[in-house]
Structure 1
Amino acid sequence: MTAPSLQILVVQGTIREGRSSIHPARYVTDRFRENGHNTELFDMKDYEIPLFRNRRDAVSNPHPDIDAFGRKVEAADALVIVAPEYNHSIPGTLKNLLDHLYPEYEDTAFSYVTVSAGGFGGVRALSHLHDITLEFDAHPGPDLPVSNVRDAFDEDGSLIDETYEDRFEEFIQAVVDHVEQFVPSAVGTPEAGG
Structure 2
Amino acid sequence: MPRTSTARRRDEARERILEAAVEVIRSGGFRGAQMSLIALRAGVGVGSLYTHFPSQADLFAEIYQRVVRRELGVMREAVAADGGPALARLAVAVRGFCERSLQAGPLAYALMFEPSGPAVEALRIQLREAFREVLADLVALAVTENAVPAHDVAVSSAAVVGVMTETLVRPLSPAGTPPADGFADRVAAMALGVVTARLP
Q: TM-score, normalised by structure 1?
A: 0.28
RCO (CA 8 Å, sep 6+): is it higher in 1 or 2?
A: 1
Select the structure that is richer in helix: 2
Select the structure that is richer in strand: 1
